[in-house]
Amino acid sequence: MTSHETAPRANAEEVHRYQQNLDDEIDGIAVYLLLAQAEPDPKRRAIFEELAEVEERHAQVWREKLLEAGVQPREHGPSLKIRLIGWTARRFGVRSVLPMVRNMEAGAYGAYMAQGEAGQAIAPDERAHRKTLARMERGDAEPAEAIASREKWHRTGGGGTLRASVFGVSDGLVSNASLVMGFAGAQTEGKFVLLAGIAGLLAGAFSMGTGEYVSMRAQREMFERQIGLEKAELEAMPEEEERELALIYRAKGLPQAEAEAMAARLMENPQIALDTLVREELGLDPGVLGSPWGAAIGSFLTFVTGAVIPVIPFVFAAGGSTVSIGFVVASAALSAVALFGVGASLSLFTGRSAWLSGLRQLGLGAVAAAMTFAIGRIIGVSTGV
């Protein structure tokens, strides 16, 4: 009798899990082949092809399990998610999708560790794949280049907040100036222009704040999950993590004996070892993951700062009369000065001429405001507002 006939039959839950594992491995094969096709570098392409071969061996394990259970494996093509990843890799480059694929491998590692003997035997491969992808995501930089890259990351940490603030002011200024000019162009009463400006200010500020909160919360949760996985691996396989640390320091140029000694010292304190692994393998600073509330409040306030400028003159406009051209000119002048200032401040990040950046920002804002003013005038005339 064959092994398929003598092996005990799996229950329905196990069969479902085997098929799900097979589906995931088929997606894994497809994603690595798609990345190999999109990768221009021959060495990196060969790595993706090797990863696909490993996933094919994993898939064969689950096919055998299904056959042993008396069930014919269900084969399929790559899922929509995998096809989208492949398209993105071709369109924007392989590195743009590596974080997504790395998170898939992290999820596969956790899922297999929670399964039986067959799954736990495969789990180390998925863990190794995740680490390989993390290194490919960072690139094959020499130690000096890697240090420079990390220093750039730290330098842009504080600058990132300033840059976001500048763009928040710019968004509020351009959008609300355009809105106010649209209502002013319709020759409505001053109180309606003021009401529109305040409504646009509040709507935009709450929208910006909510969007930043959701974005930062999702990013922080993703980072926390990656740190949690690294902590679980450190607790489950400390010897292997110590070897990883030693390899990291050898890659930085330390002799083998010194690298191993340093790794051993770090492993004496699990928290320090975890922080080091998170910094070196994931490129994260565990103490600076970003505050969702801080990002939301900052975006709200910076948008308000920009959006209030074109509204200020209409605070003094007579409420029951059609807004005069003087208030429109005053609003446009204040907005123009602010637009130029915002554009000039962007030169701090771009390195371009402050005059050129300021005039470009002023020109773009002026075009947006002029178009909405003209549209408002047309609508006001045609509707008799």
What does the pLDDT read at residue 144? 36
CB neighbour burial string for 199-215, b if at least 16 within 10 angstroms, e if fewer: ebbeebbeebbeebbee
What does the pLDDT read at residue 249? 75
Domains defined for the chain, CATH in brackets: 3-138 (1.20.1260.10), 152-211+297-383 (no CATH)
The DSSP letter of residue 282 is I
What does the pLDDT read at residue 221? 82
pTM of this prediction?
Answer: 0.53
pLDDT in tens, 362-378: 888 888 888 887 887 78
What does the pLDDT read at residue 380? 57
pLDDT in tens, 62-81: 999 889 888 899 988 888 88
Give the Cα separation of 249 and 247 in Å (integer).
5
What does the pLDDT read at residue 250? 73
What does the pLDDT read at residue 314? 84
What does the pLDDT read at residue 288? 65
What does the pLDDT read at residue 73? 92
pLDDT in tens, 242-269: 877 777 777 667 788 888 888 888 888 8
Confidence category of residue 6, pLDDT binned at 50, 70, 90: very low
pLDDT in tens, 126-151: 777 777 787 777 664 433 333 333 33
Query: Above 60 in pLDDT, residue 4?
Result: no
Residue 189's DSSP bridge partners are 322
Q: Which two tokens stand for residue 25?
A: 């491995």
pLDDT in tens, 109-124: 778 877 877 777 787 7
Give the Cα separation of 357 and 351 in Å (integer).
10
Confidence category of residue 171, pLDDT binned at 50, 70, 90: confident
Confidence category of residue 30, pLDDT binned at 50, 70, 90: very high
pLDDT in tens, 311-322: 988 888 766 566
Q: Which two tokens stand for residue 148?
A: 């420079």
What does the pLDDT read at residue 34? 94
Q: To 10 degrees, the CA torsion angle through 335, 338, 339, 342?
A: -160
Contact 181, 371 (CB under 8 A): no
Confidence category of residue 281, pLDDT binned at 50, 70, 90: low
Give the Cα separation of 33 and 78 in Å (integer).
11
CA-wise closest residue to 167 among 290, 369, 306, 311:
306
Percent of the chain with pLDDT over 90: 9
Query: Above 70 in pLDDT, residue 210?
Result: yes
Q: How far is CA 210 from CA 177, 219, 223, 339, 349, in A?
A: 22, 14, 20, 25, 26
What does the pLDDT read at residue 32? 93
